[in-house]
Structure 1
């Protein structure tokens, strides 16, 4: 009888611990999904890179994709200083809320930031033109830059 009573208590305690563990996982999913700053920078870089290179169909870059790799690296360099903690960037953040957001730096507006990111991709595609503005009569380059810029958008602070 005593053994039966002890086994019921053990099963009961085990069930309680399991239920508590499951409840904690369901209530706070962010604990399991915490993203490092580096992962956030890579995620945002991938997001923009594949938006302006839809022909890649989100495929993983290969060793032979040197031009795309250089483009991705340049874009990452431009994005890296713009990724800040949600606590630092967003207003109305609840205490304990974590995560990373894309923001402006050095007093730039978002328009200027997106222009800079479009420049980064355009000039990584055309490194011989780096530092030179696109001539007003070069409709093909203007169209390419405009298409790059059009696809650039990152929501900030859940907006």
Structure 2
């Protein structure tokens, strides 16, 4: 009876997952934010003819990439054996500024002709679109 119980625990218990690489973490975080701001895609895999979405995903990934650091580097009071990757700020930015920059990345990849130009205050549609993107920009950090 004890043997049956032990075997059941081994088979049904949690399987140790393979450690996520940094590249996989960057892709996962990019996917998470990309699909939040493009909910109309319903998490479907992008196809080769989805050029605009692919460009948007790639630009978002480029913006996220330098912001993914080891959990040891980012989180306070982390145990030495804890491994993984966390999203953080860079270059002295606050999280608010970071999320604004990520919203800019999505907005200007959708509207490349406007890159480098602020959204005019009388452009209610542009402001509304940027604001909708920005509302979705949030990644938890260090288990918070």
**Structures share fold, TM-score greater than 0.5:** yes
Give 2:139's aligned residue: 154
- Which one of the candidate residues 28, 31, 35 is aligned to 1:43? 28
Q: Secondary structure at the match of 1:154?
A: coil
Unaligned runs of 5+ in 2: none
Give 1:112's aligned residue: 97
- 1:3-152 alignment to 2 at 5 Å? 22=10, 29=16, 32-152=17-137
- Name the structure with the higher helix share: 1
Q: Secondary structure at the match of 2:49?
A: coil
Q: Secondary structure at the match of 2:69?
A: strand
Q: Secondary structure at the match of 1:98?
A: coil
Runs of 4+ displaced beyond 3 Å: none
- The alignment of Structure 1 onto Structure 2 pairs a total of residues equal to 139
Higher relative CO (Cα under 8 Å, sequence separation at least 6) belongs to: 2
Structure number, greater radius of gyration: 1
Q: CA RMSD in A?
A: 2.0
Kindly state the Cα deviation for residue 27 of structure 1 after the two structures are TM-superposed.
7.7
